[in-house]
Amino acid sequence: MPLTHLTAGFLPLLDSALLVLAHEKGFAATEGLELHLVRETSWANIRDRAAIGHFDIAQMLAPMPLAASLGLTPIATPMIAPIVLGLGNNAITVSAELWHAMADQGAPGDLAAGPAGAALARVVAASPRKLRFCVVHQTSSHNYELRYWLAASGIVPDRDIEIVVLPPPLLPDALGTGGIDGYCVGEPWNSIGVATRGAHIATVKASIWQSSPDKVIGMRASWADRHPDLVAALIRAIYRAGIWCADPANHPEAARIMSAPAYLDTASAIVARALTGRLDIGGGVTSQVRDYFIPHAGAANFPWKSHALWYYSQMVRWGEVTQGSANATTAAATFRPDLYRTALAPLGMPVPSADFKTDGAHATPSIIAATTGSLTMGPDLFFDGAIFDPDALESYIATQRPTA
């Protein structure tokens, strides 16, 4: 039986792994799909090419389908995300000069977001110039995580610190030439900055917000409506790739596959750092980061509508979209747990029964109800102790306004 051809866009980041592995390990072919993977150079290209139909599907920043559906993109196109490509993977990396200044101000070098942010706040207060940090896209998890970390640390983004946008592969060189002082990005670009530019990883996504999403598979809502069987097959292929990638015994092979020129084009040892969570954070220091990248465990691939609403809350916070029930409904509708459940039902796998959950209340693993039995979820704390309850969205947004 011939395979159905799908064109899929991706960026050279570790969290394209499940998409790549679905192709390379045959999980997509088992589901009747032939994935044609197209490596892109920027998230803006992914966004625009997906909108005009060059890509059937694409690796996307988790907030990107929201932005497209809310009309925040040049080609406003309703999009959906029926599956998540894992949790974690981001870090905030700074230049050697800035790290030395942070260390002098008490940064302990253990990747903890709170002490690192407090040290940076003292550096910013004493700096004769405005520091410049970089993110990979305006409507990216990186932008919202960086801003959240800064604001909770007493630094007002845009007023106290400048935030600019560059594609991920350009960040280490921009840091090395002094064009920026730090950046928030996914692997391997933090490790490459450490290895080639003497950079230092100051903190990680897993410390700012535990078990939080970063990339999704996104697609035009109209395409998904026309091809429900293809969407279901794709979800199953990505899900199986996540199971395979989560097995430590497969990490060496996964690192070799992802390090190839067609994908990350870097040393497999660099790729392996994020897969294992054993990071060289700079200055010869190695740190074992628990849950740095989670490809499958803890319902890592489930598209929680509450996660979509958290990103919406940050879009409101930073003035990108107006607050209102219609926009909140549109944002939540972009994540499609209904499609996820339907696709996995034939496999009999446990899937969360609810569409929404509270984040920030669990310091240890917790049990939730699933379609068959139960699931163990990982810790989900925000570093500042905040609680995000989607049932209290309006009051949460009220507490999230930037400091004047």
Do 4-87+212-262+319-345 and 90-208 have matching folds?
A: yes
CATH architecture of the domain covering 90-208: 3-Layer(aba) Sandwich (3.40)
Q: Where are the domains of the chain?
A: 4-87+212-262+319-345, 90-208, 350-399
Per-residue DSSP letter, 393? H
**CA pair distance 170, 72, nearest whole angstrom:** 25
Is CATH 3.40.190.10 the right assignment for the domain spanning 4-87+212-262+319-345? yes
Q: Three-state DSSP class for 249? A: helix
Q: In the predicted model, is pLDDT for residue 115 greater than 60?
A: yes
Question: Tokens 């599956």 map to which residue?
Answer: 83
**CA pair distance 85, 112, nearest whole angstrom:** 24
Per-residue pLDDT tens over the stretch 293-333:
999 999 999 999 999 999 999 999 999 999 999 999 999 99
| Helical axes 141-152 vs 113-126, angle rounded to 10° | 70
**To the nearest whole percent, how much of the chain has pLDDT over 70?**
99
List the end-to-end C-alpha distance of the chain, in Å, as a whole number: 62
Q: Three-state DSSP class for 339? A: helix
**CA pair distance 98, 119, nearest whole angstrom:** 11
Q: pTM of this prediction? A: 0.97
Per-residue pLDDT tens over the stretch 129-153:
999 999 999 999 999 999 999 999 9
Q: In the predicted model, is pLDDT for residue 403 greater than 70?
A: no
Q: Is 282 in contact with 194 (CB distance < 8 Å)? A: yes
Q: What is the dihedral of CA 289, 151, 182, 86, to 10 degrees?
A: 40
Per-residue pLDDT tens over the stretch 229-250:
999 999 999 999 999 999 999 9
Q: Is 33 in contact with 237 (CB distance < 8 Å)? A: yes
